[in-house]
Structure 1
């Protein structure tokens, strides 16, 4: 019987197709663009393979691109119309069921099926990797951790890909708040496989959440050759670098990274790229800068997509771009379109329905209100959601743009009690964040406490100076004139990405 590299049996599969599937899984685990060609090769040599067909369906969904999802749905339907699914082995049936559920919009069912599959086949790397990303899309931090943690015991220590599983586990640990364990797991994963960009990303998230900005910069600098180009995660990791620059108060460096790595004339215009671009510009806006021309170009890119309702997390970042550009009519139009969609009695099994109703629309309305200076409205919309934002996906770091928006509006609307609580929460978790201390200074100004404001600003200045010193460190690799070694042009920008950044 033909098996994959992990010993799992493959139905309707030749040795050639198995080799292509192994190559595709390895590329997926490394976030390599080669995954697309490898899956095409597997389909070409083994069109009857249920695992190859399921893999192709997963690939069509992972980029959160509505057009790719339609193509994937059509191909999958053609395949399943000619297959006696009940007669297939259980592993193949469960992959097909998970792909079917995801294509139908039920992310939770798809993730649950893949978790059941992993109980019986804990070394099915495809099931683990795709399930891990579904947990990310649905913001399920506990399952993001435990899906991989529950399978790790079945992986032999001498299996080279065990380190890649450890990298996924590190991200689940980080999103669950186990920062020390997450750092240890991520560092160990990268030690085993320096090109494990997801593990590098997990370590970077760990430093971000602890406010260890200088450590994060040094870590990214030391491994730049392994993460900064040639993979689907490079844009997102440059986004993290830009967040570190903002902690130093270095808006120019953050914008340099934006121009060279996040969005420019050569960018592919994928949703995952555009949402990183919006999330960075919004933070820069909250810091007091208004990169107007960049906002206009980004809003144009979102408008050119004309996305139907598909993933609320993307909708929020589209509205963020329209609001940042002052294009309130387009922001209002998108919100109205999603309301019309919901009025069509969308099935409860469509995960994006609940995401849109409960999180997406209020968040979109809050962003629009913030850009219009309606800060009381922002507080009314976001305060009840602040502990539920994970329900529409993304990471803590990504969702922090909305948390900062709430804090900014609390300060701007004179809600000193609320702002005090929010700032206290943030400083308790990240006591060395220049942003947090600057917010405390703004609160003190609002309360008329000049002495407290001065102390807070000193803390903010010292924290920013420590990060700025790391950015200037001669021990770091060569940097651009702005102080950060962002890629020099669009040639490093990735193409259409089938995996989340």
Structure 2
């Protein structure tokens, strides 16, 4: 199937691989998702905004699963210094800011936060929910999460989450902000709130092992031993199922006919 993507423009090419990387993360195949980041999602056209947000979103999701991403944030952030005052779509701004914050570029983060607040103050009535009610608190919450202030991140992202839809992006893309909010809740010890979110996630997507594991951990913290045992068992069963040869073959059917998950990239698609 991926062979048919070769003639797509940079965004569609990298975005299709981004979706496959999310699929791999849900299968606990984080190393392969990282390989796709390096060969398919980042490095095709680093100057293009859509490729940049694909990279930011995938790196963040991998980190949330405990993957060490090395110096990749610094590489992505190198291309974002000129984006501080874009403010075309809040969804994009928030990802730029998070990447800059994760790369430790505090002066750029401070400048972008001030610029974003100015943009929100100038918002027309139909834009106010996206910019003032969501983007401003979300931006400060993302910056707090990046610097390790998880309680502040949980508070601010919690304010923004009910207003997320108008900021742009697809449901799958906006799910990043919910994942960061959930991580902040867990790290802050707000276990009751985190459990409710994870239970909703489980109802919507009941076959993701990492969701079951996170629920098991929280159930233990809340003294709900029987539910923790059930969630652990379900996570283990799913992990075994995904490790089976049938599932492995099905996943390979999504990739080039070379038999390898990551085939050589057409040089014409790679940025200089």
Taking structure 2 as the reference length, the TM-score comes to 0.86
Identify the residue that residue 31 of structure 2 maps to in structure 1.
Answer: 252
Root mean square deviation, CA, Å:
2.7
Listed as ranges, the gaps of 5+ residues in structure 1 are 1-222, 496-501
Deviation at 1:394, TM superposition (A): 1.0
Q: Report the 3-state secondary structure (helix = DSSP H, G, I; strand = E; otherwise coil) of the residue aligned with 2:79.
A: helix
- Asked if structure 1 preserves the Cα contact closer than 8 Å seen for 2:45 and 2:269, the reply is yes
Q: 1:230 aligns with which of 1, 4, 7?
A: 7
Aligned to 1:169: none
Equivalences for 1:209-224 in 2 at 5 Å? Answer: 223-224=1-2
Q: TM-score, normalised by structure 1?
A: 0.49
- For residues 443-476 of structure 1, give each alpha carbon's deviation from its aligned partner in whole angstroms, at most 9, with x where no partner exists: 1232244554343233223323433446631783
Report deviation, 1:357. 1.7
Partner of 1:288: 66
Q: Which structure would you say has the larger Rg?
A: 1
Quote the Cα distance in structure 1 between the aligned partners of 2:142 and 2:152.
Answer: 10
Matches within 5 A, 1:431-450: 431-450=206-225
CA contact (8 A) 1:235 1:493 kept: no
CA contact (8 A) 2:84 2:115 kept: no
Matches within 5 A, 1:257-406: 257-264=36-43, 266-343=44-121, 346=122, 348=124, 351=127, 354-406=129-181
Distance 1:439 1:492 in 2: 42
Contact between 1:441 and 1:453, CA under 8 Å: does it hold in 2? yes
Distance 1:492 1:245, change over 3 A: farther
Q: After superposition, give the CA deviation of every residue in 1:23-59 in whole Å (9 maximum; x if it has no partner).
A: xxxxxxxxxxxxxxxxxxxxxxxxxxxxxxxxxxxxx
Change (3 A) 1:255 1:391: same
**Structure 2 counterpart SS, 1:292:** coil
Provide Cα deviations, 1:380-410, integer angstroms capped at 9, x if missing partner.
1222332331111111111111111121122
What does residue range 29-428 of structure 1 map to in structure 2 within 5 Å? 223-226=1-4, 228-232=5-9, 233-264=12-43, 266-343=44-121, 346=122, 348=124, 351=127, 354-428=129-203
Kindly tell me: are residues 443 and 475 of structure 1, through their superposed partners in 2, closer, same or farther at Cα, counting changes over 3 Å? closer
Q: Which runs of 5+ in 2 are unaligned?
A: none
- Provide the C-alpha distance between the structure 1 equivalents of 2:192 and 2:56, rounded to a whole number of angstroms: 30
1:471–1:484: 8 Å Cα contact kept in structure 2?
Answer: no
Please report how far the alpha carbon of residue 293 of structure 1 lies from its aligned counterpart in structure 2 after TM superposition. 1.1
Question: Which residue of the partner structure matches residue 462 of structure 1?
Answer: 237
Paired residues, number: 266
1:472 alignment counterpart = 248
The 1:293–1:287 alpha-carbon spacing in structure 2 relative to 1, beyond 3 Å, is same
Judged with a 3 Å threshold, the aligned counterparts in structure 2 of structure 1 residues 455 and 260 are, in CA distance, closer, same or farther, namely same
